[in-house]
A and B are shown apart, each in its own frame.
Chain A
């Protein structure tokens, strides 16, 4: 009898249903976070490239001594140490200087042992 009552009560209780709830709110965090990370990587990469390119454009290579610059120095101190240093530091500039000098400067005939003076006398 008691079991029968229990079953009846159980059946009565089962007629009540749990109240409906809201839908599961699935946030697509995983996909979004990957997209955000990829976008950040692209932005950082593009920024780095542009900075590197800008620096490359504005930076000038160290200037090599020009012939005029060398001459301006050597006109004042055309001495053996200066020419030796130039020959060691920049052999091309040194060659260019010698070539230029040989083409523009006449040999001096003032010295008593000058070969040209001897030839001229002859």
Chain B
């Protein structure tokens, strides 16, 4: 279980941040999920990746409903780390992601940082595979536009 946490924990937290939670709340949600799993309250299926993402997604939806808070990505808080360590580049990318519709943003995250296939994304979100593929394609197009606009002042 600890190895699962070490392998996927940070990506799960980043996913929740991408969905609109602040970093501390996202960490708490992921911690609580793994503690429940450690206590044996839930049985993990053979392929845990989709299960983990679905579980934290549901938990974050419940939390947001409880707090009656609308999804609003944190502007100054980083949940990604740039390869060169420059936070400006991260903030630029996060700003571009923030401008995407939530379902497209989620699809990009699951494909790029969770490493899921389009089929797995479709299964997890309970949508047709074509919908998942088109969401991803549209999202990448918009991201490219945004990032090029930033790169070409």
Contact = CB atoms under 8 A, between A and B. Distances in A.
A18 B81 contact: yes
Contacts of A26: 35, 38
A6 interface: yes
A28 to B, nearest CB: 10
B65 interface: no
A27 B35 contact: yes
A17 interface: yes
Contact of B13 (A9, A13, A21): A21
Interface stretch (B3-11, B50-58, B98-106, B122-130): B3-11
Contacts of A25: 31, 35
Contact of B27 (A6, A9, A14, A21): A21
A22 to B, nearest CB: 6
A22 B147 CA distance: 31
A21 B9 contact: yes
A9 B93 CA distance: 12
A14 B111 CA distance: 10
Contacts of B61: none
Interface size class on chain A is 20 to 34
A17 B79 CA distance: 9
Contact of B81 (A5, A6, A16, A29): A16
B74 to A, nearest CB: 12
Interface string B19-46: 0000100010011001100110000000
What are the nearest 5 A-B pairs in CB distance? A18-B14, A18-B10, A15-B83, A16-B80, A18-B11
B39 A19 contact: no
Interface residues of B, number: 32
A9 B112 CA distance: 10
Contact of B31 (A6, A20, A24, A30): A24
Nearest to B77: A19
Interface in A13-61: 13-22, 24-27, 29-30
B116 interface: no
A20 B31 CA distance: 13
Nearest to B11: A18
A18 B80 contact: yes
Given A14-B112, A19-B78, 8 more contacts: A13-B112, A17-B81, A18-B13, A18-B79, A19-B14, A19-B81, A24-B35, A25-B31
A5 B148 CA distance: 12
Among A14, A18, A24, A27: residue with most chain B CB under 10 A: A18
